[in-house]
Chains A and B, each alone.
Chain A
Amino acid sequence: MSYSKELLESLEAKAKLLRKDCMKCIGVGVAGHVGGSCSSADLVAALYFYKMKYDPKNPDWEGRDYFLLSKGHVAILQYSALAEAGFFPVEDLQHCKDVGFYLQGHPHLGTPGIEAGTGSLGQGLSLGLGMAIGLKMDDKPNNVYVLVGDGEQNEGQIWEAAMAAGAKKMDNLCAIIDNNGLQAMGKIKDRLDSGNLAEKWAAFGWNVIEIDGHNMEEIVKALDDADEYKGKPTAIIAHTVKGKGVSFAENQVGFHNAALTKEQYEQALAELS
Protein backbone atom coordinates (compact mmCIF):
# COMPACT_ATOMS: atom_id res chain seq x y z
CA MET A 1 0.00 0.00 0.00
CA SER A 2 1.29 3.43 -0.83
CA TYR A 3 0.37 6.62 0.95
CA SER A 4 -0.21 10.00 -0.63
CA LYS A 5 2.30 12.78 -0.18
CA GLU A 6 -0.52 14.99 1.12
CA LEU A 7 -1.43 12.51 3.84
CA LEU A 8 2.14 12.07 5.01
CA GLU A 9 2.83 15.79 4.97
CA SER A 10 -0.34 16.57 6.88
CA LEU A 11 0.62 14.04 9.54
CA GLU A 12 4.13 15.45 9.74
CA ALA A 13 2.61 18.89 10.21
CA LYS A 14 0.40 17.52 13.00
CA ALA A 15 3.43 16.01 14.72
CA LYS A 16 5.17 19.36 14.58
CA LEU A 17 2.07 21.04 15.97
CA LEU A 18 1.95 18.54 18.85
CA ARG A 19 5.59 19.24 19.67
CA LYS A 20 4.84 22.95 19.66
CA ASP A 21 1.80 22.45 21.90
CA CYS A 22 4.02 20.49 24.29
CA MET A 23 6.47 23.38 24.51
CA LYS A 24 3.62 25.80 25.21
CA CYS A 25 2.32 23.40 27.81
CA ILE A 26 5.71 23.34 29.55
CA GLY A 27 6.42 27.06 29.17
CA VAL A 28 9.42 28.77 30.75
CA GLY A 29 11.17 27.86 33.98
CA VAL A 30 9.08 24.83 34.97
CA ALA A 31 10.27 21.27 34.40
CA GLY A 32 8.47 19.20 31.78
CA HIS A 33 9.12 16.02 29.82
CA VAL A 34 10.53 17.57 26.66
CA GLY A 35 12.63 14.65 25.42
CA GLY A 36 10.17 11.77 25.51
CA SER A 37 7.31 13.93 24.23
CA CYS A 38 9.29 14.86 21.15
CA SER A 39 10.52 11.31 20.48
CA SER A 40 6.93 9.98 20.53
CA ALA A 41 5.25 12.85 18.68
CA ASP A 42 5.27 11.32 15.19
CA LEU A 43 3.88 8.03 16.54
CA VAL A 44 1.11 9.76 18.48
CA ALA A 45 0.24 12.01 15.51
CA ALA A 46 -0.14 8.95 13.26
CA LEU A 47 -2.36 7.23 15.83
CA TYR A 48 -4.68 10.16 16.49
CA PHE A 49 -4.83 11.66 13.00
CA TYR A 50 -4.57 8.58 10.81
CA LYS A 51 -5.15 5.23 12.46
CA MET A 52 -7.50 5.34 15.41
CA LYS A 53 -11.28 5.55 15.34
CA TYR A 54 -12.78 7.88 17.93
CA ASP A 55 -15.38 10.58 18.42
CA PRO A 56 -14.11 13.60 20.37
CA LYS A 57 -17.68 14.70 21.09
CA ASN A 58 -18.48 11.28 22.51
CA PRO A 59 -15.29 9.97 24.14
CA ASP A 60 -17.07 6.81 25.37
CA TRP A 61 -18.29 5.87 21.88
CA GLU A 62 -18.36 2.06 21.78
CA GLY A 63 -16.73 1.83 18.37
CA ARG A 64 -13.56 3.64 19.39
CA ASP A 65 -10.05 2.27 19.42
CA TYR A 66 -8.25 2.50 22.73
CA PHE A 67 -4.96 4.27 23.32
CA LEU A 68 -2.94 3.99 26.52
CA LEU A 69 0.12 6.06 27.22
CA SER A 70 2.04 3.59 29.34
CA LYS A 71 4.98 6.02 29.36
CA GLY A 72 2.58 8.39 31.09
CA HIS A 73 5.22 10.97 32.00
CA VAL A 74 4.76 12.46 28.52
CA ALA A 75 1.12 13.20 29.30
CA ILE A 76 1.49 16.62 27.71
CA LEU A 77 1.93 14.92 24.34
CA GLN A 78 -1.30 12.96 24.70
CA TYR A 79 -3.12 16.06 25.99
CA SER A 80 -1.87 18.00 22.96
CA ALA A 81 -3.16 15.29 20.62
CA LEU A 82 -6.52 15.11 22.41
CA ALA A 83 -6.86 18.90 22.31
CA GLU A 84 -5.97 19.11 18.62
CA ALA A 85 -8.40 16.24 17.95
CA GLY A 86 -11.18 18.22 19.60
CA PHE A 87 -11.67 16.45 22.94
CA PHE A 88 -11.14 19.71 24.86
CA PRO A 89 -9.97 23.27 24.14
CA VAL A 90 -6.32 23.74 23.14
CA GLU A 91 -6.22 26.76 25.49
CA ASP A 92 -6.66 24.41 28.46
CA LEU A 93 -3.20 22.94 27.84
CA GLN A 94 -1.61 25.89 29.61
CA HIS A 95 -3.42 24.90 32.82
CA CYS A 96 -1.87 21.42 32.84
CA LYS A 97 -0.82 20.46 36.40
CA ASP A 98 -2.96 23.18 38.03
CA VAL A 99 -4.20 21.84 41.37
CA GLY A 100 -7.36 19.80 40.88
CA PHE A 101 -7.45 20.51 37.11
CA TYR A 102 -8.41 17.74 34.72
CA LEU A 103 -5.00 17.76 33.00
CA GLN A 104 -2.80 16.12 35.64
CA GLY A 105 0.93 15.42 35.46
CA HIS A 106 0.15 11.88 34.39
CA PRO A 107 -2.90 10.65 32.44
CA HIS A 108 -5.84 10.45 34.80
CA LEU A 109 -9.22 8.83 34.27
CA GLY A 110 -11.84 11.55 33.98
CA THR A 111 -9.98 13.57 31.36
CA PRO A 112 -11.90 13.31 28.08
CA GLY A 113 -10.18 10.72 25.87
CA ILE A 114 -8.06 9.20 28.64
CA GLU A 115 -8.88 5.50 28.99
CA ALA A 116 -7.06 4.73 32.25
CA GLY A 117 -4.62 6.25 34.69
CA THR A 118 -1.11 5.43 33.51
CA GLY A 119 2.45 6.39 34.13
CA SER A 120 3.42 4.18 37.02
CA LEU A 121 5.72 2.48 34.54
CA GLY A 122 5.05 -1.08 33.48
CA GLN A 123 1.29 -1.12 34.05
CA GLY A 124 -0.13 0.36 30.84
CA LEU A 125 0.49 -2.71 28.72
CA SER A 126 -1.42 -4.89 31.21
CA LEU A 127 -4.30 -2.41 31.24
CA GLY A 128 -4.35 -2.56 27.45
CA LEU A 129 -4.21 -6.33 27.54
CA GLY A 130 -7.25 -6.38 29.83
CA MET A 131 -9.14 -4.18 27.38
CA ALA A 132 -8.07 -6.41 24.48
CA ILE A 133 -9.21 -9.56 26.31
CA GLY A 134 -12.57 -7.99 27.18
CA LEU A 135 -13.15 -6.73 23.63
CA LYS A 136 -12.35 -10.15 22.19
CA MET A 137 -14.73 -11.82 24.65
CA ASP A 138 -17.50 -9.70 23.13
CA ASP A 139 -16.30 -10.23 19.53
CA LYS A 140 -15.73 -6.51 19.16
CA PRO A 141 -13.44 -5.22 16.39
CA ASN A 142 -11.85 -2.33 18.34
CA ASN A 143 -8.06 -2.20 18.54
CA VAL A 144 -5.97 -1.33 21.59
CA TYR A 145 -2.72 0.64 21.21
CA VAL A 146 -0.21 1.02 24.03
CA LEU A 147 2.78 3.34 23.78
CA VAL A 148 5.59 1.98 25.92
CA GLY A 149 8.95 3.55 26.69
CA ASP A 150 12.22 1.76 26.08
CA GLY A 151 13.40 2.55 29.59
CA GLU A 152 10.10 1.05 30.70
CA GLN A 153 11.31 -2.29 29.36
CA ASN A 154 13.17 -2.56 32.69
CA GLU A 155 9.86 -3.17 34.47
CA GLY A 156 9.08 -6.83 35.06
CA GLN A 157 5.36 -6.34 34.56
CA ILE A 158 5.97 -5.45 30.89
CA TRP A 159 7.20 -8.98 30.38
CA GLU A 160 4.34 -10.53 32.37
CA ALA A 161 1.94 -8.74 30.03
CA ALA A 162 4.01 -9.55 26.96
CA MET A 163 4.00 -13.25 27.89
CA ALA A 164 0.25 -13.31 28.54
CA ALA A 165 -0.66 -11.35 25.39
CA GLY A 166 1.53 -13.61 23.27
CA ALA A 167 0.14 -16.79 24.84
CA LYS A 168 -3.42 -15.58 24.40
CA LYS A 169 -2.77 -14.44 20.80
CA MET A 170 -4.23 -10.99 21.36
CA ASP A 171 -4.04 -9.70 17.81
CA ASN A 172 -6.23 -6.72 18.69
CA LEU A 173 -3.38 -5.39 20.84
CA CYS A 174 -0.49 -3.35 19.49
CA ALA A 175 2.45 -2.22 21.63
CA ILE A 176 4.52 0.63 20.24
CA ILE A 177 7.92 0.92 21.82
CA ASP A 178 9.51 4.35 21.67
CA ASN A 179 13.11 3.25 21.39
CA ASN A 180 14.97 6.53 21.89
CA GLY A 181 17.84 4.84 23.70
CA LEU A 182 17.82 7.08 26.76
CA GLN A 183 16.30 6.64 30.19
CA ALA A 184 16.08 9.24 32.93
CA MET A 185 19.65 8.78 34.18
CA GLY A 186 21.50 8.10 30.95
CA LYS A 187 21.88 5.81 27.98
CA ILE A 188 19.90 2.61 28.37
CA LYS A 189 22.96 0.65 27.29
CA ASP A 190 24.88 2.13 30.23
CA ARG A 191 22.13 2.06 32.88
CA LEU A 192 20.26 -1.23 32.41
CA ASP A 193 20.80 -2.60 28.95
CA SER A 194 17.56 -4.05 27.62
CA GLY A 195 19.42 -6.05 24.98
CA ASN A 196 17.85 -6.95 21.65
CA LEU A 197 14.24 -5.84 21.99
CA ALA A 198 13.12 -7.26 18.64
CA GLU A 199 14.35 -10.72 19.60
CA LYS A 200 12.84 -10.47 23.08
CA TRP A 201 9.35 -9.46 21.87
CA ALA A 202 9.41 -12.10 19.15
CA ALA A 203 10.38 -14.71 21.73
CA PHE A 204 7.35 -13.69 23.79
CA GLY A 205 5.08 -14.53 20.84
CA TRP A 206 4.65 -11.12 19.21
CA ASN A 207 4.70 -10.06 15.58
CA VAL A 208 7.59 -7.59 15.57
CA ILE A 209 7.95 -4.66 13.18
CA GLU A 210 10.99 -2.36 13.38
CA ILE A 211 10.72 1.13 11.95
CA ASP A 212 12.23 4.58 11.95
CA GLY A 213 9.89 6.28 14.41
CA HIS A 214 10.27 9.61 12.68
CA ASN A 215 9.50 8.36 9.16
CA MET A 216 5.77 8.95 8.76
CA GLU A 217 5.36 6.51 5.89
CA GLU A 218 6.98 3.73 7.89
CA ILE A 219 4.82 4.58 10.89
CA VAL A 220 1.47 4.49 9.11
CA LYS A 221 2.45 1.36 7.19
CA ALA A 222 3.44 -0.39 10.44
CA LEU A 223 0.12 0.61 12.06
CA ASP A 224 -1.81 -0.72 9.05
CA ASP A 225 0.23 -3.93 9.01
CA ALA A 226 -0.39 -4.42 12.73
CA ASP A 227 -4.13 -3.97 12.13
CA GLU A 228 -4.09 -6.60 9.38
CA TYR A 229 -1.93 -9.13 11.22
CA LYS A 230 -3.88 -12.02 12.73
CA GLY A 231 -2.87 -14.59 15.33
CA LYS A 232 -0.38 -12.57 17.36
CA PRO A 233 -0.18 -9.17 19.02
CA THR A 234 2.12 -6.74 17.24
CA ALA A 235 5.08 -4.90 18.74
CA ILE A 236 6.24 -1.92 16.71
CA ILE A 237 9.75 -1.04 17.77
CA ALA A 238 10.15 2.55 16.71
CA HIS A 239 13.71 3.80 16.63
CA THR A 240 13.55 7.44 17.66
CA VAL A 241 15.62 10.38 18.84
CA LYS A 242 14.82 11.77 22.25
CA GLY A 243 14.00 15.47 21.96
CA LYS A 244 13.46 15.15 18.17
CA GLY A 245 12.64 18.44 16.48
CA VAL A 246 14.13 20.68 19.16
CA SER A 247 17.81 20.89 18.21
CA PHE A 248 19.29 21.65 21.62
CA ALA A 249 17.29 18.83 23.26
CA GLU A 250 17.99 16.08 20.74
CA ASN A 251 19.70 13.08 22.31
CA GLN A 252 20.28 15.01 25.52
CA VAL A 253 19.59 13.08 28.72
CA GLY A 254 19.25 16.37 30.55
CA PHE A 255 16.03 17.12 28.66
CA HIS A 256 14.21 14.02 29.93
CA ASN A 257 12.45 16.31 32.38
CA ALA A 258 13.78 19.83 32.11
CA ALA A 259 12.82 23.46 32.49
CA LEU A 260 13.33 25.66 29.44
CA THR A 261 14.97 29.07 29.68
CA LYS A 262 13.21 31.91 27.91
CA GLU A 263 15.77 31.71 25.10
CA GLN A 264 15.36 27.94 24.77
CA TYR A 265 11.59 28.26 24.79
CA GLU A 266 11.62 30.82 22.00
CA GLN A 267 14.15 28.82 19.98
CA ALA A 268 12.02 25.67 20.34
CA LEU A 269 8.89 27.46 19.14
CA ALA A 270 10.81 28.95 16.22
CA GLU A 271 12.20 25.56 15.19
CA LEU A 272 8.73 24.03 15.37
CA SER A 273 7.01 26.78 13.36
Chain B
Amino acid sequence: MAYTSQRKAYGETLVALAKENRNIVVLDADLCGSTMGKLTELALPEQHVEMGIAEADMTSVAGGLSRVGKIPFTNSFAVFSAGRAYDQIRQSVAIGKLNVKICGSSAGASDFADGATHQSIDDIAYMRVIPNMSVFVPADSNEAVEVTKYMASHEGPMYIRLNRNDYENVTEEGAEFTLDPKVLRDGTDVVVFACGIMVGKALEAAEKLAGKISVKVVNVSTIKPLNKEMVCELAKGCKGVVTAEEHSVIGGLGGAIAEALCKECKPIEFVGVNDIFGSSAHSYADILEYLGLTTEHIASAVELIYNL
Protein backbone atom coordinates (compact mmCIF):
# COMPACT_ATOMS: atom_id res chain seq x y z
CA MET B 1 0.00 0.00 0.00
CA ALA B 2 1.25 3.43 -0.87
CA TYR B 3 2.58 5.73 1.85
CA THR B 4 1.02 9.11 2.44
CA SER B 5 3.88 10.28 4.66
CA GLN B 6 7.09 11.26 2.92
CA ARG B 7 9.23 10.77 5.99
CA LYS B 8 7.78 7.34 6.67
CA ALA B 9 8.29 6.43 3.02
CA TYR B 10 11.90 7.62 3.28
CA GLY B 11 12.57 5.90 6.61
CA GLU B 12 11.16 2.52 5.61
CA THR B 13 12.83 2.64 2.20
CA LEU B 14 16.15 3.32 3.91
CA VAL B 15 15.69 0.25 6.12
CA ALA B 16 14.96 -1.90 3.07
CA LEU B 17 17.97 -0.51 1.21
CA ALA B 18 20.25 -0.84 4.24
CA LYS B 19 19.27 -4.50 4.62
CA GLU B 20 20.37 -5.12 1.05
CA ASN B 21 23.50 -2.97 1.23
CA ARG B 22 25.41 -3.14 4.51
CA ASN B 23 27.44 -0.07 3.52
CA ILE B 24 24.45 2.20 3.94
CA VAL B 25 24.81 4.13 7.19
CA VAL B 26 22.08 6.37 8.60
CA LEU B 27 23.11 9.30 10.81
CA ASP B 28 20.84 11.36 13.01
CA ALA B 29 21.21 14.42 15.20
CA ASP B 30 18.77 13.65 18.04
CA LEU B 31 15.71 13.90 15.81
CA CYS B 32 15.47 10.33 14.52
CA GLY B 33 11.89 10.11 15.81
CA SER B 34 10.91 12.83 13.36
CA THR B 35 13.19 11.97 10.46
CA MET B 36 12.28 8.26 10.76
CA GLY B 37 15.95 7.41 11.07
CA LYS B 38 14.71 5.58 14.15
CA LEU B 39 13.37 2.86 11.86
CA THR B 40 16.95 2.03 10.87
CA GLU B 41 18.11 2.37 14.47
CA LEU B 42 15.52 -0.21 15.53
CA ALA B 43 15.92 -2.63 12.63
CA LEU B 44 19.67 -2.31 11.98
CA PRO B 45 21.31 -0.62 14.98
CA GLU B 46 24.81 -1.35 13.65
CA GLN B 47 24.00 0.75 10.57
CA HIS B 48 22.66 3.74 12.49
CA VAL B 49 24.84 6.34 14.19
CA GLU B 50 23.48 8.86 16.67
CA MET B 51 25.66 11.95 16.35
CA GLY B 52 23.90 14.07 18.96
CA ILE B 53 22.77 17.63 18.40
CA ALA B 54 25.84 18.42 16.32
CA GLU B 55 24.90 18.72 12.65
CA ALA B 56 28.23 20.20 11.58
CA ASP B 57 30.11 17.22 13.00
CA MET B 58 27.50 14.80 11.61
CA THR B 59 27.99 16.12 8.08
CA SER B 60 31.78 15.99 8.05
CA VAL B 61 31.63 12.57 9.73
CA ALA B 62 29.44 11.46 6.82
CA GLY B 63 32.16 12.71 4.49
CA GLY B 64 34.70 10.57 6.32
CA LEU B 65 32.40 7.54 6.23
CA SER B 66 32.02 7.89 2.47
CA ARG B 67 35.81 7.83 2.10
CA VAL B 68 35.98 4.37 3.64
CA GLY B 69 33.28 2.98 1.38
CA LYS B 70 30.09 3.75 3.28
CA ILE B 71 26.98 5.40 1.83
CA PRO B 72 25.94 7.79 4.58
CA PHE B 73 22.53 9.49 4.84
CA THR B 74 22.45 12.47 7.23
CA ASN B 75 19.05 13.23 8.70
CA SER B 76 17.62 16.24 10.43
CA PHE B 77 15.19 19.06 9.85
CA ALA B 78 16.22 20.91 6.68
CA VAL B 79 17.12 24.04 8.63
CA PHE B 80 19.74 21.95 10.44
CA SER B 81 20.90 19.21 8.06
CA ALA B 82 21.21 21.67 5.18
CA GLY B 83 21.18 25.09 6.85
CA ARG B 84 23.27 24.64 9.97
CA ALA B 85 25.64 22.32 8.11
CA TYR B 86 25.85 24.35 4.90
CA ASP B 87 29.55 25.01 5.37
CA GLN B 88 30.35 21.35 6.05
CA ILE B 89 28.31 20.31 3.01
CA ARG B 90 30.28 22.76 0.90
CA GLN B 91 33.75 22.19 2.32
CA SER B 92 33.82 18.59 3.56
CA VAL B 93 31.42 17.01 1.07
CA ALA B 94 30.77 18.84 -2.19
CA ILE B 95 34.25 20.02 -3.18
CA GLY B 96 35.44 16.41 -3.04
CA LYS B 97 32.21 15.10 -4.67
CA LEU B 98 31.83 12.72 -1.74
CA ASN B 99 29.06 10.15 -1.82
CA VAL B 100 27.02 11.73 0.98
CA LYS B 101 23.22 11.91 1.01
CA ILE B 102 21.60 14.73 2.95
CA CYS B 103 17.99 14.61 4.02
CA GLY B 104 16.22 17.90 4.73
CA SER B 105 13.24 16.66 6.70
CA SER B 106 10.30 18.74 7.96
CA ALA B 107 11.18 21.14 5.15
CA GLY B 108 9.37 24.23 3.90
CA ALA B 109 6.71 25.37 6.34
CA SER B 110 5.68 21.81 7.13
CA ASP B 111 6.85 22.11 10.73
CA PHE B 112 4.06 24.65 11.10
CA ALA B 113 3.91 24.87 14.89
CA ASP B 114 7.58 25.58 15.53
CA GLY B 115 7.71 28.82 13.58
CA ALA B 116 10.38 30.63 11.57
CA THR B 117 13.42 29.04 13.22
CA HIS B 118 12.31 25.59 12.07
CA GLN B 119 10.81 26.43 8.68
CA SER B 120 13.24 26.18 5.78
CA ILE B 121 12.15 28.57 3.06
CA ASP B 122 15.62 28.91 1.58
CA ASP B 123 17.24 25.44 1.43
CA ILE B 124 16.60 24.75 -2.27
CA ALA B 125 18.45 27.97 -3.11
CA TYR B 126 21.53 27.35 -1.03
CA MET B 127 21.74 23.65 -1.88
CA ARG B 128 21.39 24.17 -5.60
CA VAL B 129 24.10 26.82 -5.78
CA ILE B 130 26.74 24.32 -4.58
CA PRO B 131 28.69 22.75 -7.46
CA ASN B 132 28.47 18.93 -7.68
CA MET B 133 25.23 18.85 -5.64
CA SER B 134 22.02 17.23 -6.83
CA VAL B 135 18.76 18.55 -5.38
CA PHE B 136 15.54 16.54 -5.22
CA VAL B 137 12.10 17.66 -4.07
CA PRO B 138 9.74 14.70 -4.42
CA ALA B 139 6.13 15.60 -5.10
CA ASP B 140 4.71 13.00 -2.75
CA SER B 141 5.43 9.83 -0.79
CA ASN B 142 5.48 7.58 -3.85
CA GLU B 143 8.19 9.69 -5.38
CA ALA B 144 10.05 9.97 -2.06
CA VAL B 145 10.47 6.17 -2.11
CA GLU B 146 11.88 6.22 -5.61
CA VAL B 147 14.19 9.22 -5.04
CA THR B 148 15.61 7.52 -1.93
CA LYS B 149 16.37 4.41 -3.98
CA TYR B 150 17.96 6.56 -6.66
CA MET B 151 20.18 8.32 -4.13
CA ALA B 152 21.41 5.05 -2.65
CA SER B 153 22.35 3.66 -6.06
CA HIS B 154 23.97 6.72 -7.66
CA GLU B 155 27.31 8.34 -6.75
CA GLY B 156 27.75 11.88 -5.53
CA PRO B 157 26.48 14.41 -3.04
CA MET B 158 22.69 14.64 -3.09
CA TYR B 159 20.00 16.49 -1.16
CA ILE B 160 16.42 15.30 -0.67
CA ARG B 161 13.79 17.65 0.71
CA LEU B 162 10.87 16.10 2.57
CA ASN B 163 7.57 17.28 4.00
CA ARG B 164 6.61 16.59 7.60
CA ASN B 165 2.87 16.18 7.01
CA ASP B 166 0.73 13.50 5.38
CA TYR B 167 -0.98 14.20 2.06
CA GLU B 168 -2.31 12.26 -0.90
CA ASN B 169 -0.10 11.00 -3.69
CA VAL B 170 -0.24 12.52 -7.15
CA THR B 171 2.37 10.31 -8.82
CA GLU B 172 2.19 6.65 -9.62
CA GLU B 173 3.37 4.17 -7.02
CA GLY B 174 6.49 2.26 -8.02
CA ALA B 175 7.27 4.38 -11.10
CA GLU B 176 11.03 4.30 -11.56
CA PHE B 177 12.58 7.66 -10.85
CA THR B 178 14.19 9.62 -13.67
CA LEU B 179 15.73 13.09 -13.52
CA ASP B 180 13.56 14.70 -16.21
CA PRO B 181 10.63 16.99 -15.42
CA LYS B 182 7.38 15.02 -15.74
CA VAL B 183 4.14 16.23 -17.31
CA LEU B 184 1.30 15.20 -15.00
CA ARG B 185 -1.43 17.05 -16.90
CA ASP B 186 -1.24 18.31 -20.42
CA GLY B 187 -2.40 21.78 -21.43
CA THR B 188 -1.75 24.47 -24.00
CA ASP B 189 -2.31 27.94 -22.51
CA VAL B 190 -0.16 28.16 -19.40
CA VAL B 191 2.45 25.79 -18.00
CA VAL B 192 2.92 25.38 -14.24
CA PHE B 193 6.26 24.04 -13.04
CA ALA B 194 5.86 22.85 -9.46
CA CYS B 195 7.68 20.82 -6.83
CA GLY B 196 6.85 19.13 -3.56
CA ILE B 197 3.38 19.59 -2.11
CA MET B 198 2.69 22.35 -4.64
CA VAL B 199 2.49 19.79 -7.45
CA GLY B 200 -0.83 18.49 -6.09
CA LYS B 201 -2.08 22.02 -5.58
CA ALA B 202 -1.11 22.90 -9.17
CA LEU B 203 -3.15 19.92 -10.41
CA GLU B 204 -6.12 21.14 -8.36
CA ALA B 205 -5.71 24.64 -9.78
CA ALA B 206 -5.59 23.23 -13.33
CA GLU B 207 -8.79 21.27 -12.69
CA LYS B 208 -10.48 24.32 -11.25
CA LEU B 209 -9.62 26.38 -14.33
CA ALA B 210 -10.53 23.60 -16.80
CA GLY B 211 -12.83 24.84 -19.55
CA LYS B 212 -11.53 28.39 -19.16
CA ILE B 213 -7.76 27.95 -19.34
CA SER B 214 -5.87 24.87 -20.52
CA VAL B 215 -3.11 24.35 -17.93
CA LYS B 216 -0.12 22.05 -18.27
CA VAL B 217 1.28 20.82 -14.94
CA VAL B 218 4.89 19.69 -14.72
CA ASN B 219 6.42 18.00 -11.69
CA VAL B 220 10.00 19.21 -11.31
CA SER B 221 11.26 16.87 -8.62
CA THR B 222 14.85 17.25 -9.77
CA ILE B 223 15.76 20.88 -9.26
CA LYS B 224 19.38 20.09 -10.08
CA PRO B 225 20.60 18.85 -12.52
CA LEU B 226 17.73 20.52 -14.36
CA ASN B 227 16.98 19.46 -17.92
CA LYS B 228 16.84 23.01 -19.26
CA GLU B 229 16.15 22.03 -22.87
CA MET B 230 13.13 20.06 -21.74
CA VAL B 231 11.88 22.99 -19.66
CA CYS B 232 12.08 25.21 -22.76
CA GLU B 233 10.36 22.54 -24.83
CA LEU B 234 7.54 22.20 -22.31
CA ALA B 235 6.99 25.97 -22.24
CA LYS B 236 6.84 26.25 -26.04
CA GLY B 237 3.46 27.31 -27.35
CA CYS B 238 2.25 28.37 -23.92
CA LYS B 239 1.41 31.99 -23.26
CA GLY B 240 3.43 32.05 -20.11
CA VAL B 241 4.73 30.22 -17.10
CA VAL B 242 3.89 29.82 -13.42
CA THR B 243 6.22 28.27 -10.87
CA ALA B 244 4.97 26.96 -7.53
CA GLU B 245 7.10 25.92 -4.55
CA GLU B 246 7.00 25.84 -0.77
CA HIS B 247 10.10 27.99 -0.70
CA SER B 248 11.22 31.55 -1.25
CA VAL B 249 10.54 32.97 -4.69
CA ILE B 250 14.23 33.88 -4.67
CA GLY B 251 16.68 31.25 -5.84
CA GLY B 252 14.57 28.10 -5.68
CA LEU B 253 12.53 26.27 -8.31
CA GLY B 254 11.29 29.59 -9.72
CA GLY B 255 14.83 30.85 -10.05
CA ALA B 256 15.96 27.63 -11.73
CA ILE B 257 13.07 27.71 -14.21
CA ALA B 258 13.64 31.40 -14.97
CA GLU B 259 17.32 30.69 -15.63
CA ALA B 260 16.34 27.87 -17.99
CA LEU B 261 13.87 30.07 -19.85
CA CYS B 262 16.03 33.20 -19.95
CA LYS B 263 16.13 33.31 -23.75
CA GLU B 264 12.46 32.42 -24.29
CA CYS B 265 10.92 35.82 -23.41
CA LYS B 266 7.95 34.28 -21.60
CA PRO B 267 6.12 36.01 -18.76
CA ILE B 268 6.61 34.15 -15.49
CA GLU B 269 4.64 34.38 -12.26
CA PHE B 270 6.30 32.99 -9.14
CA VAL B 271 4.12 31.36 -6.46
CA GLY B 272 6.23 30.97 -3.35
CA VAL B 273 7.27 32.66 -0.15
CA ASN B 274 7.69 36.36 -0.85
CA ASP B 275 11.00 37.07 0.88
CA ILE B 276 9.66 36.70 4.42
CA PHE B 277 10.21 34.19 7.20
CA GLY B 278 7.47 31.84 8.35
CA SER B 279 5.48 31.90 11.53
CA SER B 280 4.00 29.51 14.03
CA ALA B 281 0.53 28.32 13.13
CA HIS B 282 -2.07 25.94 14.55
CA SER B 283 -2.33 24.01 11.30
CA TYR B 284 -0.37 23.36 8.14
CA ALA B 285 -3.21 24.86 6.10
CA ASP B 286 -3.00 28.09 8.13
CA ILE B 287 0.71 28.61 7.50
CA LEU B 288 0.36 27.78 3.79
CA GLU B 289 -2.44 30.35 3.54
CA TYR B 290 -0.34 32.92 5.43
CA LEU B 291 2.62 32.36 3.07
CA GLY B 292 0.51 32.39 -0.12
CA LEU B 293 0.97 28.73 -0.98
CA THR B 294 -2.52 27.50 -1.86
CA THR B 295 -4.42 26.17 -4.86
CA GLU B 296 -6.09 29.56 -5.14
CA HIS B 297 -2.75 31.38 -5.26
CA ILE B 298 -1.66 29.15 -8.14
CA ALA B 299 -4.97 29.58 -9.96
CA SER B 300 -4.73 33.37 -9.63
CA ALA B 301 -1.17 33.32 -10.96
CA VAL B 302 -2.28 31.25 -13.97
CA GLU B 303 -5.14 33.67 -14.67
CA LEU B 304 -2.82 36.62 -14.38
CA ILE B 305 -0.46 35.13 -16.97
CA TYR B 306 -3.34 34.07 -19.22
CA ASN B 307 -4.94 37.53 -19.16
CA LEU B 308 -1.78 39.48 -19.92
Closest approach, in angstroms, between the C-beta of B262 and any C-beta of chain A?
29
Q: Which residues of A contact B97 (CB under 8 A)?
A: 109
Binds B, one of A6-14, A116-124, A246-254: A116-124
> Could you tell me if A116 and B96 are in contact, using CB atoms closer than 8 angstroms?
yes
Q: Which residue of A lies closest to B85 (CB)?
A: A157
Q: In this complex, which of A120, A122, A133, A140 has the most chain B Cβ atoms within 10 angstroms of its Cβ? A: A133
Rounded to whole angstroms, the CA-CA distance of A29 and B68 in the bound complex is 40
> Could you tell me if A117 and B95 are in contact, using CB atoms closer than 8 angstroms?
yes
Given A109-B96, A120-B87, A137-B46, A126 contacting B68 (CB threshold 8 A):
no
Q: Which residues of A contact B72 (CB under 8 A)?
A: 130
Number of B residues whose C-beta is below 8 Å from A? 29
Q: Which residues of A contact B56 (CB under 8 A)?
A: 122-123, 126, 156-157, 160
Say yes or no for A96: interface residue by CB 8 A criterion.
no
Rounded to whole angstroms, the CA-CA distance of A64 and B49 in the bound complex is 24
Q: Which residue of B lies closest to A135 (CB)?
A: B68
Is the contact region of chain A dominated by helix, strand, or loop, or is it mixed?
A: helix
Closest approach, in angstroms, between the C-beta of A105 and any C-beta of chain B?
13
Q: Which residues of B contact A129 (CB under 8 A)?
A: 57, 60-61, 64
Within 8 A of A (CB), among B57-116: 57, 59-70, 72, 87-88, 91-92, 95-98
Is the contact region of chain B dominated by helix, strand, or loop, or is it mixed?
A: helix
Closest approach, in angstroms, between the C-beta of B103 and any C-beta of chain A?
17
Given A116-B96, A164-B57, A134 contacting B64 (CB threshold 8 A):
yes
Q: Which residues of A come within 8 Å of B, CB atoms? A: 66, 108-110, 115-117, 120, 122-123, 126-135, 137-138, 140, 156-157, 160-161, 163-164, 167
- The 5 A-B residue pairs with the shortest CB-CB distance in the complex, in nearest-first order: A130-B64, A126-B60, A160-B57, A109-B96, A130-B61
Other than A120-B92, A164-B57, give 15 A-B pairs with Cβ distance below 8 A. Answer: A109-B96, A116-B92, A123-B60, A126-B57, A126-B61, A126-B88, A127-B61, A130-B61, A134-B68, A137-B70, A138-B68, A138-B69, A157-B57, A160-B54, A163-B52
